[in-house]
C-alpha cells in the first residue's frame, strides 16, 4: 500500500470511521450486557434475602 498516494486521507478516514463506529457499537453492547447482568445478580440476591427472611418468619 502506498501511503503517499493521492486521496490516501479518504482511505484512512473510512477505515477510521469504520473502527470508531463498530467499536462504539461493540462497547455499547458490552456495557449493556454488563449492566443487565449486574442488575440481575442484584435482584437475585434481594430475592434470596427475601425468601430467607420470610422463611425465618414462618419458622
Q: Which residues bind other proteins (CB under 8 A)?
A: 1-2, 5-8, 10-11, 13-15, 17-18, 21-22, 25-26, 28-30, 32-33, 36-37, 39-40, 43, 47
Looking up cell 453492547 gives: 29
Shortest approach of other proteins to residue 47 CB, angstroms? 7
The CA distance from 42 to 34, in Å, is 12
Shortest approach of other proteins to residue 59 CB, angstroms? 20
Grid cell listed for 17: 470511521
Closest CB to other proteins among 40 and 56?
A: 40
Helix H or strand E encompassing 36: helix 8-58
Amino acid at each position: 500500500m502506498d501511503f503517499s498516494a493521492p486521496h490516501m486521507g479518504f482511505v484512512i478516514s473510512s477505515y477510521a470511521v469504520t473502527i470508531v463506529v463498530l467499536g462504539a457499537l461493540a462497547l455499547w453492547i458490552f456495557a449493556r450486557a454488563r449492566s443487565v447482568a449486574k442488575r440481575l445478580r442484584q435482584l437475585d440476591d434481594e430475592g434470596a434475602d427475601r425468601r430467607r427472611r420470610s422463611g425465618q418468619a414462618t419458622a
